[in-house]
Structure 1
Amino acid sequence: MSQVLTVKNEDIIRHIKFSCQIPDVLRAVAIQKIITDTAEKAGIKVDEPELQQAGDNMRVANKLVKATDTLAWLAKHNLTVEEFEELVYANVLSAKLANHLFAKQIESYFFAHQLDYVAAVTYEVVLDDEDLAFEMYYALQEGEITWSELARQFIHNPELRRTWGYQGIRRRIDFRPELASAIFALVAPQILKPIVTSKGVHLIWVEEIIHPKLDEQLRAKIQQDLFSAWLNQQFEHLEIKMQ
């Protein structure tokens, strides 16, 4: 038979304080108040169909197929049905405010910052010895060794070794400046000459350069980036007092 442990609200607050999470919690509360107040001034409303759709989407995202699944999830997160509806409302309000403030700025921002959204598919091996790195580079050029053989020999992390040092699809801003300038200046596919950084000597195989298209996914990302930057700016000008 399981034992029952009673946790009071003051216990939770004490834990938040002792784990030094108060600044993050205060910021989250302040951000929500900024969103609510700004949306109210802008006359932004959330109607019932929007709430219903957002609630359904949230249940799907959390795999809450049955009513019992939803109730169990609510209990786990100590939420009432009414509080779940408030959570959904806050999410919809935030999205509508972001759209209200920045939907018309997306295209101009994209064209002004287009290079920031260029991406590259890369594989990487980092060595400690520059001479060895150049030796391996020229061996790759001459076909004396393959990239997979190089990765198996010099990558110590098992997961990275299995994928030949695959780094995924990364934007220019995700790379160190000295690497980005070299990677995005070439015509892929190509292996870069070794580049020395504070982390070591990088051998990088650039498989593909992906030029951005302003599709719905990128539009959503740019809008969220602009909205997040705006919220941060609003928060920096606040003086928060706890009662």
Structure 2
Amino acid sequence: MNNSLSISSRDIIHYIKISCQIPVVVEAIASDRIITDTAEKLGITVEESQIQQEGDLFRANKKLVRAKDTLAWLQQHHLSVDDFEELIYKKILSKKLANHLFGKKVESFFFQHRLNYLAAVTYEIILDDKDLALEFFYALQEGETTFADIAREHISDPDTRRNGGYRGIRRRADFRPEVASAVFAAKPPQPLKPISTNKGVYLIWVEEIIQPELDEKLRSQIISELFNSWLKQELSEMQISDRFDSTTNIQNSPDLLMQA
């Protein structure tokens, strides 16, 4: 067996094409153009000192402590030093544009959509039998059993069973709509009356409802959400023309399409 392999740029492009990733790449290129053009129109610039600072942070996050570690990482990703600087530059430019467009809109958006940022700590079990779920619900209310005991007997996944059905901290959007309305109307800690869905019957223990606070993490998240929505809208209004010849083989093989 030959252990050497030579891969060309053409091979890479062809693989991207046949793995149906071209639309993703084209959209990413278009997004980059939109960000660059909009930032230029608004006079947003990036200072050399900002590139240095962001580059240092990037290397720290990647654990590229030594110069040779950084060079090895660049080689692995086929990047030159100039490419790396461009990567950092575009990262900063995108962040600065997002803050310019939406930084002053965060507070009003947060208060208008505050309910969406409520979070809940829950434990969940999905059962097939609604009568059994109701039996467990009433037993929980009467203190005849614990949620952990039910989870131990009725959750098949080992990790979830060991955690007692714990689902962590989730926001409203992370729940199924029919589940979210019941969860966020609860007065924890308490079990919810079983909820039937097409996935099964949910037996849920609501441990805590967490009120949202507009800290720096949430502020950054909201700016990112608003920016991504804006970018998606811009993309929808843009006519994108690429030069990939994807129709030749289809036109030469009409039988392939006739069988669909």
SS of equivalent to 1:196:
strand
Measured after TM superposition, the shift of residue 214 of structure 1 is 0.6
| Aligned twin of 2:230 | 230
Measured after TM superposition, the shift of residue 192 of structure 1 is 0.5
CA distance in 2, matches of 1:112, 1:125: 33
Measured after TM superposition, the shift of residue 204 of structure 1 is 0.5
Q: Say whether residues 1:86 and 2:83 are aligned partners.
A: no
Measured after TM superposition, the shift of residue 71 of structure 1 is 1.0
Equivalences for 1:92-131 in 2 at 5 Å? 92-131=92-131
CA distance in 1, matches of 2:168, 2:57: 28
Deviates more, 1:86-95 or 1:76-85: 76-85
Measured after TM superposition, the shift of residue 117 of structure 1 is 0.3
| Aligned twin of 1:48 | 48
Equivalences for 1:66-81 in 2 at 5 Å? 66-81=66-81
CA distance in 2, matches of 1:35, 1:56: 23
Amino acid at match of 1:206: V
CA distance in 2, matches of 1:201, 1:6: 54
| Aligned twin of 2:255 | none
SS of equivalent to 2:63:
coil
Cα RMSD (Å)? 1.1
Point out where structure 1 has 5 or more consecutive residues left out of the alignment. none
Measured after TM superposition, the shift of residue 167 of structure 1 is 0.9
Query: What percent of counterpart residues are identical?
Result: 58
CA distance in 2, matches of 1:49, 1:117: 35
CA distance in 2, matches of 1:229, 1:87: 22
SS of equivalent to 1:169:
strand
Measured after TM superposition, the shift of residue 5 of structure 1 is 2.3
Equivalences for 1:1-243 in 2 at 5 Å? 3-243=3-243
Deviates more, 1:88-97 or 1:71-80: 71-80
Per-residue CA deviations over 1:132-163 (Å, capped at 9, x if unaligned) read 00111112222222111111100011111111
How many residues are treated as equivalent by the alignment?
Answer: 242
CA distance in 1, matches of 2:38, 2:206: 45
Point out where structure 2 has 5 or more consecutive residues left out of the alignment. 244-260
Measured after TM superposition, the shift of residue 230 of structure 1 is 0.2
Amino acid at match of 1:228: N
CA distance in 2, matches of 1:4, 1:153: 53
CA distance in 1, matches of 2:90, 2:57: 14
SS of equivalent to 2:204:
strand
SS of equivalent to 2:167:
strand
SS of equivalent to 2:151:
helix
Measured after TM superposition, the shift of residue 184 of structure 1 is 0.7
Measured after TM superposition, the shift of residue 121 of structure 1 is 0.5
